[in-house]
Structure 1
Amino acid sequence: MLLGALGPELSVPVLLVQHLDPRHRTVIAEVLGRRTPLPVKLAEHDERALPGTVYIAPPDRHLLVGADGVLTLSSSARVHFVRPSADLLFESVAGAYGHRAIACVLTGTGRDGAMGVDAVKSRGGTVIAQDPRTAEFSGMPEAAVGTGAVDFVLPLEEIAAIIRGLVEGKRQ
């Protein structure tokens, strides 16, 4: 699993959007927390994103990050029929971190994330997409690759090593 392969010494926060049904209690933080040494939690409004922690957008809330690393949750309109939106998260990450931003689009249906990867790339960040041929649902990675903004198209098991290398290289 990608999160587990990032390693316990990860020096940046991980912000994650999963399209969850808000009508059901979510246990994603607990499930993912069993598969990684990193702390995993649902993001909270106005909390500072800490290195080595995984923050998951709560169901039906957009997750954004500011230049100061403070997280914001929003109930603003759905983007491409979804809330939370990877596009909005990626756009905020691009604005907050510029050339140090890393966006990763994994399996999923629809086009969410495609606009956001353009924002990351336009500010000098790095974009990774899961190889659509290896994704359970290829829509999101295919849409991201179709933008021309993707730097790496990789099978899931190769992504963590690239992220670790990028993080170490982008820290300065």
Structure 2
Amino acid sequence: MVRQALNSRRVDRIEAVVVGASAGGVNALMDILPSLRADYPLPVVTVLHVMRGRQNQLVEVFRQRMALRVEEAADKGELEPGTLYFAPADYHLSIEEGGVFSLSLEDPVHFARPAIDITMESAADVYGARLAGILLTGANQDGAAGLAAIGAAGGLTVVQDPAEAQVAVMPNEAIRKRPPDLVLPLRDIRELLLALPA
């Protein structure tokens, strides 16, 4: 089904993936990311809302469950294939020309820092049609504008089926702002990630 959906839409060669999530996001990410093999050829950048003042333990948690390399995005670090990156707690994460990370302490967006919108919008500027954006469960509208920017740049946009999401606000806001290419349950998003490098 997922391959048919991809074939029905012209998909340029995807070179990077950005995933955003908030409330319920850890469980959703656990459902879709551990299936990525050690030689997965794309960088996957994940932004998950983390409460201010709380240490981000996502890297350690996912390292224990994945064959793919898992790192925290570092300022001025280059995106590398075959790596899952997490945005650090309490920093906005942008992607600059040349595929380089940039961290900032600008004001929160939709009460969030890191904000999904900032990462997705900057990635859309750099990768255009070579970017896939995936938005999962969450309780506010962060990510809706970012995913719309990816769509406007010609990238592939995917939203978790709101009926399945632990919190449907974020998927519904994204669908309302700009209809995505695909609305999928987690099992199909997992299949999509595996199909993208083909």
Q: Is the 8 A contact 1:88 1:116 kept in 2?
A: yes
Equivalent in the alignment of 2:173: 143
What code does the residue aligned with 1:60 have?
D
Alignment of 1:17-28 (within 5 A): 17-28=47-58
Q: How does 1:89-128 map to 2 (within 5 A)?
A: 89-128=119-158
For 1:10-61, what per-residue CA distance to the aligned partner results, in whole angstroms no more than 9, with x for missing partners? 2111111111123122211111122221111211100001111111111110
Q: Structure 2: which amino acid aligns with 1:109?
A: A
**Structure 2 CA distance, aligned partners of 1:123 and 1:81?**
26
Displacement of 1:145: 1.4
Deviation of residue 160 (structure 1)?
2.1
- Contact kept in structure 1, 2:38 and 2:69, CA below 8 Å: no
Would you say how many aligned residue pairs link Structure 1 and Structure 2? 168
- Matched residue type, 2:190: A
Deviation at 1:9, TM superposition (A): 2.3
Offset of 1:63 from its aligned partner? 0.9
Looking at both structures, which has the greater relative contact order when contacts are Cα pairs under 8 Å and sequence separation is at least 6? 2
Q: Which residue of 2 aligns with 1:167?
A: 197
Question: What SS class does the counterpart of residue 41 from structure 1 fall into?
Answer: strand
- Name stretches of at least 5 consecutive residues in structure 2 with no aligned partner: 1-30
Alpha-carbon distance in 2 for matches of 1:87, 1:167: 24
Aligned partner of 2:80 in structure 1 is 50
Identity %: 36
Question: 2:71, 2:85 within 8 Å by CA — same for their partners in 1?
Answer: yes
Shift of 1:133: 0.9
- Matches of 2:65 and 2:138 in 1, distance apart? 20
Higher strand fraction (1 or 2): 2
Q: Look up the equivalent residue of 1:152 and give its one-letter code.
A: L
**1:165 deviation in Å?**
2.2
Q: Does 1:64 align with 2:94?
A: yes
Structure 1 unaligned blocks of 5 or more: none
